[in-house]
Structure 1
Amino acid sequence: MADLMVGGGGAGAPRGLVAGDALGGFLTAVADRLGGAPVRFDRLPTGPLRGVCGRLTLDDGRAVHVTAAGWNSPGITELRREVLISDRIAAVGPALLCAVREVESCVLVHELVSGRSVSLVPGSPDLAPVGDFLLRSAKALAGDPVGQVGVLGDALRFWPSWERFAGSAWSRAVLDPREARVLQRLTALDGRAQRLGGPAVVHGSLHPGNLLITPDGGVTAVGWRRARFGPAWADAALLVPHLVEAGRDPAGAEAWARQYAGLDQADEDDLTALAVALAGRVWWRDHGPTNPYGFPWRVGRDAALRWMRFRLACHS
């Protein structure tokens, strides 16, 4: 493997399952499945996977996206989940080309998607294809739930909730007085969100960085490791605080999102519960201890709280 070039490093350096000399053999196994030989591997940050993630270039010029996790690492559950729903994801995201089972690892090889991150600022030409993506994904990702994938409420339940805030000694110092006065209500709504499920595959953490404008002008989504089953409108709803960050007020952001994926037909209490749950987890991200699994929601705290307050004011 002397001719293999490896780029990247830092946070993306291989850890655990493919450290050191094992990296060459790992990439060779992937390339063999694809009928080629590896010539370059550019690492990307692995986040919670504790493994390898990056772009693999083969000797015939093809390039693919490779993700791997050790069988005993936290990330293996996410990779298994992605395999189970890969047929549905392919309609609106990167196609799974193959899965390679190594002695110590599971490796997923996806088509490499080229594109730029979308802009959600008011008036952006990207908003129309983002809306089209939400409509397409709501149709393509619907169907009977698959066992072992779990539901959106499971993903929320994994992270500390408003109930954790209510029981913490420092909650009064951290929370805005408006939240502190209604902790009991926030806790009840949070519990409702933790029961959210549904018949559609939900990405669950869409943001401008993983929504890409492709060369044909369409939008595709990457980063499906945390997908679950839930209501078809959930991804449209979870874009609302990102629209707020981009410059809309919460009312305008929600009005835009209600045009897509059936959000206008969502149960209002479920929608409020989701906004409350998201804001609580963002609070914990910013004020609680660091979690080794990596936080899935990249929205800013102020935007998440503004959406929550808007929902609470409209449905008090």
Structure 2
Amino acid sequence: MKPQWDDLPGNVRATVEEQVGQVLKADPVTKGLMPGLATRLYTEDGGTVFLKAVSTASPAASLYERERRAGAVLPPGLPAPRLRWSGEVDGWIVLLHEYVDGRDADLSPGSPDVPLVLDTLAVLNEALTPCPGDVPDVAANIAGLQAKAARLLAFPTEDLPHRAMYQTALDKLSPDALNGDTLLHYDLHSGNFRIDDNRPYVIDWAFAVRGATWVDAALLAPRFIEAGHSPEQAEALLDRVPAWRSAPADAVTALAALWTLFRLYKAWFGSAEGRAFRARAAEAGRAWVHHRSA
């Protein structure tokens, strides 16, 4: 059970109200698997603010801290909610963002959201190169993918469908190809684009890293496939993003394999509530790797 506003220690709630005014109502956000509190606060001045908080003892504390660091350096005017205040209070990491209303982006074929999303990504790439702040290198995220991939690849061949395809892709991975000086979101998908008045906003920067500019575009490809595009169509869409056009082919295929094996691992062994959607994501990733390996 995720914590609620009233579950926060009194000093934490008091500190939040020092920043935003008296809280009249708190609407929890239950979507997503990230531990911690996420809630929309309604304040006495008629405004709203988005509160995220987690105990420093939580395994997710480092991700909240990473989102805090990224939020502090996102340039003004970027299509992302502004971090109004952050701090650590009585063993809780607290983030206060401006609230962005709207809906999840629709990435399906023919959706008018698709060009908006791609153009927003191009804006991010340009505005966040060079990387404006201190975040971990992309290797910090890739290491987790590699660990899960290694565990699956240790299975007997008959227990892991398409094992040879994945291994061949990973054998060509040069970690240096992922390095760069762009602040990457790293977890772009339909739920992390909020469409408000026909304008996309990019939310949830908990996995932000420094890396090659093309990485965010590459990680959108399986999301497009999952939404109904073929792998060929997904890659054609990405041509709208300048950074994608110069992405090294072997590195893209290896990253696709790592991304897919991570989702497959989570579909098999992760929390029960996430297995179905991770299985769908893994199937989209498999189709993409197969296309690139043909």
TM-score, normalised to structure 1, is: 0.82
Contact 2:177 2:248 in 1 (8 A): no
Question: Tell me, which stretches of 5 or more residues in structure 2 are unaligned?
Answer: none
Question: What is aligned with 1:208?
Answer: 190
The alignment yields a C-alpha RMSD, in angstroms, of 2.8
- In structure 2, relative to structure 1, the CA distance for the partners of 1:195 and 1:48 (3 Å cut) is farther
Letter in 2 for 1:200: T
Distance in 1 separating the partners of 2:278 and 2:79: 20
Distance in 1 separating the partners of 2:110 and 2:25: 40
C-alpha displacement at 1:172, in angstroms?
2.2
Letter in 2 for 1:38: V
Distance in 2 separating the partners of 1:201 and 1:249: 28
- In structure 2, relative to structure 1, the CA distance for the partners of 1:48 and 1:303 (3 Å cut) is closer
Letter in 2 for 1:155: N
Distance in 1 separating the partners of 2:114 and 2:241: 12
Contact 2:261 2:282 in 1 (8 A): no
Q: Which residues in structure 2 correspond to 1:271-310 (within 5 Å)?
A: 271-290=252-271, 300-310=281-291
Partner secondary structure for residue 204 of structure 2? coil
Contact 2:70 2:205 in 1 (8 A): no
Letter in 1 for 2:181: P
The answer to whether 1:52 aligns with 2:37 is: yes
Partner secondary structure for residue 119 of structure 2? helix
Contact 1:240 1:257 in 2 (8 A): yes
- In structure 2, relative to structure 1, the CA distance for the partners of 1:94 and 1:267 (3 Å cut) is same
Letter in 2 for 1:310: H
1:157 paired residue among 139, 143, 154: 143
Q: Which has more helix, going by share of residues?
A: 2
Question: What is aligned with 1:4?
Answer: none
Distance in 1 separating the partners of 2:66 and 2:39: 19
The answer to whether 1:30 aligns with 2:20 is: no
- In structure 2, relative to structure 1, the CA distance for the partners of 1:71 and 1:246 (3 Å cut) is closer
TM-score, normalised to structure 2, is: 0.87
Partner secondary structure for residue 191 of structure 2? coil
Question: What is aligned with 1:226?
Answer: 207
The superposition leaves residues 73-126 of structure 1 with CA deviations (integer Å, 9 ceiling, x where unpaired) of: 222212222222222265131100011331211201000001111111222111
- In structure 2, relative to structure 1, the CA distance for the partners of 1:291 and 1:107 (3 Å cut) is farther
Letter in 2 for 1:209: G
The superposition leaves residues 127-152 of structure 1 with CA deviations (integer Å, 9 ceiling, x where unpaired) of: 221121011111111114744x2122
Partner secondary structure for residue 113 of structure 1? coil
2:80 paired residue among 93, 112, 115: 93
The superposition leaves residues 152-186 of structure 1 with CA deviations (integer Å, 9 ceiling, x where unpaired) of: 232121243332222235x522x22xx23345424
Identity fraction in percent = 26
C-alpha displacement at 1:290, in angstroms?
3.8
Contact 1:74 1:293 in 2 (8 A): no
Partner secondary structure for residue 12 of structure 1? coil
2:27 paired residue among 33, 42, 52: 42
Compare CA radii of gyration and give the structure with the larger one: 1
C-alpha displacement at 1:293, in angstroms?
12
Contact 2:178 2:215 in 1 (8 A): no
The answer to whether 1:83 aligns with 2:68 is: yes
C-alpha displacement at 1:51, in angstroms?
2.9
